[in-house]
Every structure is written in structure tokens, then in C-alpha cells.
Amino acid sequence: MTFSRRFAWQRILPALGLGVLAAGLGRAQNQPHMRAALGHLQAARKSLEEAEQNKGGHRNKALQLVNEAIHQVEEGIEYANSHH
């Protein structure tokens, strides 16, 4: 794995992990953990969008996964807010 690819995954995977972890922890209306995870995921998306596209399709796949993670965190926030 090249340095730039490893660096990108080192930034993306923790954000995804935070999103998954926060999905189980978010409770009250403010949900600071879920909102923090959402912010990290949005930052990861911005970095991926700004990255060069010559990554053998991996950049695009990572972008799809981050977008799905953002959607799941947003759904989790909505669910928690409507059930508490």
C-alpha cells in the first residue's frame, strides 16, 4: 500500500468507526457523538472529492461508502430524535 493510499484510509476508517460507534451511543436531541461523527464523515467526503481520481476505482468506492455512512448517521439521528 502506498503512503498516500494508507494516509487516506487512516483518515477515513476512524471516521467510519466513529460513525458506527456513535450510532449506538447517540441518545438525546443534541446527540453530540452522532453529530461529531457526521462532521468527521463530511470532512472525509470533502477530502475524497478533492483527491486525484486515478486510484483504480478505490477513491470512488470509498466516496460511496462514506456517503452511505453519512446517510446512516443522519437516519440514526432522525430515529433517535423521533423515539426519545
Closest by CA to 65, choosing from 35, 43, 45, 50, is 45
Domain ranges of the chain: 3-83
Residue pLDDT, tens place only, 24-44: 554 446 899 999 999 999 999
Q: Give 13-65 as a 3 state SS string.
A: HHHHHHHHHHHHHCCCCCCHHHHHHHHHHHHHHHHHHHCCCCCCCHHHHHHHH
Per the confidence metrics, is the pTM higher than 0.85? no
Residue pLDDT, tens place only, 44-72: 999 999 999 989 999 999 999 999 999 99
Residue 10, pLDDT > 80, answer no
Predicted confidence at residue 44, as pLDDT, reads 98
Closest by CA to 19, choosing from 63, 59, 61, 77, is 77
